[in-house]
Amino acid sequence: MFRYLMRRLLAAAVILVVISAITFVTFFALPTDPALLACGKTCSPSRLAEIRHALGLDKSLATQYWEFFKGLFVDRTYGDQSITVHCNAPCLGVSFQSDTPVLTILLGDFPVDLSLGTGAAVIFLVVGVGLGMVAATHKGKAADKVAVSASLVGVSLQIYFVGLLLMWAFVDKWQILPAPSYTPLTQDPVGWFQGLLLPWATLVVIYLAFYTRLSRSSMLETLGEDYIRTARAKGLPMRRVILKHTLRAAITPIITIFGMDLASLIGGTAVITESVFGLNGIGKQAVDAVTNSDLPVTMGTTLFAAAAIVVFNIIVDMAYGIVDPRVRLA
């Protein structure tokens, strides 16, 4: 088990290095010049060269990448005579825009997506599997049709539409909720909950449909298995047949997909939700960084999202090993 984990982590590190290199190269293939942007409207050639030097853009691509990589293990100092920024290892670089170390930015934004993503994911998983279960056990009956068509409505809605509608109703019209915002859970649990309720609801509406249909079909498939018939043949009550024997097997294929969805939500895919509700998360940070040609922040957010996926991949595989006794981790 331990050796398995070590091997997986090593492979993950290699993947992240490759991704960072690709991001690096792609960034420089873009036509925009970050130095020109930082220089502003009244830019003299000498000032431009200065900025280029300060940002380290005058060095070769390989040197720049090497310095970035070295920064992961040793402290770096940026800047020239006027301003110097110190960046402690592990250093992911310093933002061109705000002169803040990228890691500081990421650590500041990360809790927003962690709360937003995990909260929404827990709700859509539980509710989706529940609805899917009801639909599967009432196949073809009214409950099934309601669950399936309700989930179809959800799938055809757009985040900005649902989000703005919910905001208008709950915040502006009925005024039962405060405007969405992020308050750390440790600081004020009630505020955390109230501030994230609408963003969660929005994400849940979008994802729920998929999880309902996924678990419905997985349940239906499992219900047709011979071992479910065996469970009934023992004289078990239907409730137990479904909640124990069927659910356990039906949930397994859902784990993988759920793990990937959760990872990408935490990694910042909920960018539209973030911006509709004015939350400053990784997703928004990433979009801003690309717009501003802020290489270090672009790198940082990309690597963060990639790391989330890679880590959750390992978690999912290990979870499989626990849930399914036939799977041996090796």
Partner 1 sequence: MAIELPPQTADGTAPSAFLDVRDLQVHFPTEDGLVKAVDGVSFTLEKGRTLGIVGESGSGKSVTSLALLGLHKGTRAILSGEIWLDGEELVALPEPAMRALRGEKVSMIFQDPLSALHPFYMVGNQIAEAYLVHHKASKKEAKDRAIDMLKRVGIPQPERRVNDYPHQFSGGMRQRAMIAMSLVCNPELLIADEPTTALDVTVQAQILDLIHDLQQEYGSAVIIITHDLGVVAQTSNDILVMYGGRCIEYGSVQDVLNHPEHPYTWGLLQSMPSLSSDVHTKLNPIKGNPPSLINLPSGCAFSPRCAFKDRVPGGRCMTERPELRPMAGNDQHIAACHLADDEKTDRVAK
Residue appearing with tokens 């293990």: 73
CA distances from 87 to 64, 91, 104, 142 (A): 16, 6, 10, 61
Distance of CA 281 to the CA centre of its chain: 10
Q: Which is nearer to partner 1, 69 or 227 (CB)?
A: 227
Q: Which is nearer to partner 1, 125 or 228 (CB)?
A: 228
Minimum distance from CB of 140 to partner 1 (Å)? 9
Query: According to the binding rule CB under 8 A, does residue 138 interact with partner 1?
Result: no
Query: According to the binding rule CB under 8 A, does residue 250 interact with partner 1?
Result: no
Q: Which is nearer to partner 1, 70 or 244 (CB)?
A: 244
**Which of 70, 86, 141, 248 lies at the binding interface for partner 1 (CB under 8 A)?**
248
Minimum distance from CB of 326 to partner 1 (Å)? 5
Map the footprint of partner 1 across residues 297-326, applying CB under 8 A.
Answer: 323-326
* Beta strand ranges found along the chain (DSSP E): 76-79, 84-87
Query: According to the binding rule CB under 8 A, does residue 239 interact with partner 1?
Result: no
Query: According to the binding rule CB under 8 A, does residue 218 interact with partner 1?
Result: no
Residue 287 to residue 271: CA distance in whole angstroms: 8
User: Interacting stretch for partner 1, rule CB under 8 A, among 126-134, 213-221, 223-231, 281-289?
Assistant: 223-231
Query: According to the binding rule CB under 8 A, does residue 243 interact with partner 1?
Result: no
Q: Which is nearer to partner 1, 172 or 226 (CB)?
A: 226
- Tell me if the bond preceding 90 is cis, omega within 30° of 0: yes
Residue appearing with tokens 């309902």: 212
User: Interacting stretch for partner 1, rule CB under 8 A, among 1-9, 104-112, 230-238, 312-320?
Assistant: 230-238
Residue 21 to residue 26: CA distance in whole angstroms: 9
Query: According to the binding rule CB under 8 A, does residue 173 interact with partner 1?
Result: no
Q: Which is nearer to partner 1, 114 or 236 (CB)?
A: 236
Query: According to the binding rule CB under 8 A, does residue 231 interact with partner 1?
Result: yes
Percentages helix, strand, coil for the chain, rounded to the nearest 5? 75, 5, 25
Residue 263 to residue 161: CA distance in whole angstroms: 24
Residue 266 to residue 258: CA distance in whole angstroms: 12
**Which of 232, 253, 256, 314 lies at the binding interface for partner 1 (CB under 8 A)?**
232
Residue 188 to residue 191: CA distance in whole angstroms: 5
Q: Which is nearer to partner 1, 70 or 248 (CB)?
A: 248
Minimum distance from CB of 246 to partner 1 (Å)? 10
64-66-70-71 Cα dihedral, nearest 10 degrees: 20
Minimum distance from CB of 324 to partner 1 (Å)? 6
For the record, the structure tokens of 282 come out as 């990784």
**Which of 227, 257, 278, 291 lies at the binding interface for partner 1 (CB under 8 A)?**
227
Minimum distance from CB of 328 to partner 1 (Å)? 10
For partner 1, how many residues bind (rule: CB under 8 A)? 20
Residue 22 to residue 303: CA distance in whole angstroms: 11
Residue 56 to residue 63: CA distance in whole angstroms: 9
